[in-house]
A and B are shown apart, each in its own frame.
Chain A
Amino acid sequence: MKLSIAVHGAPYSSQSSSTAVKFAAAALVAGHEIYRVFFYHDGARTPDSLAVTPQDEKSVLDRWLALKQIHDFELTVCIGAALKRGMLNAEESQRYDKAAANVSAEFEVVGLGQLIDAIMISDRFVTFAA
């Protein structure tokens, strides 16, 4: 089955992203396909490559990147939600003349249309709310 996932919770203060990456891993092991993961609301902070995780904890961003490296699915973040929260890739950082870019290069910064496309293309769509 082709699945897409939306993550709405912030990476550290909410369990949403952590639960979603566990679900994605379990679904892949069970033989399902992940078409796209769409990070929205505070979930848009997930690809922050400037975040520093305490040594005795696991970075949820690293867990997503590790899973993507094995299974190759789309990691996408909503551009509108990202910009408002100070999440910029190199292109957006340059466009808005900001001092830094922090969105992990493994994430595509996309419009909300990619959320709707994911729902249209996938057999199942699962939201991990905040």
Chain B
Amino acid sequence: MNGAKKILFLLRQPPYATSHALEALEAALVAGVFEQEVSVLFKDAGVWQLLSDQSGDVLATRTIGKIVTALPEYDIDSLYVCAESLAERHLTVQDLVLPVTVVSVAAQGDLINAMNAVVND
């Protein structure tokens, strides 16, 4: 699409404590439908959204990890996770539900600078 914008969704909220993760991911999917150049950065407690071992069933809610795995189906392939946020939680990429690019806090400035817009959760 002509005039597509580079949009970064910055997801920092845990998957189930509030509705923020679910609604932010829904917005990212719609950006994908609109054929924008969408990136997603999982950071802080938002890295829990990526955990492969999760289920919303016991909470009678949708499984956030399943929505995350739908992102590439909407041509959203630029997925990033904060290295320090993973390490602080003793997580590695092996714990995650899909392949994501690990970026340090130091490198995230350049990532954000390259965007036309950042959508917080």
Which A residues lie at the B interface, using CB under 8 A?
6, 8, 40-41, 80-81, 84, 111-113, 115-117, 119-120, 124-125, 127, 129-130
Contact = CB atoms under 8 A, between A and B. Distances in A.
B96 interface: no
Contacts of A41: 19-20, 23-24, 121
A40 B25 CA distance: 12
Given A40-B23, A41-B19, A115 B3 contact: no
B20 A130 contact: yes
B36 A116 contact: yes
A111 B3 CA distance: 21
Contacts of B116: 119
Contacts of B33: 113
B92 to A, nearest CB: 28
A116 B121 contact: no
Nearest to A111: B30
B118 A127 contact: yes
A115 B30 contact: yes
A80 B26 contact: yes
A119 B117 contact: yes
A129 B117 contact: no
Of all A-B residue pairs in the complex, the 4 with the closest CB atoms, nearest first, are: A112-B30, A125-B117, A127-B120, A129-B120
Contact of B34 (A81, A116, A124): A116
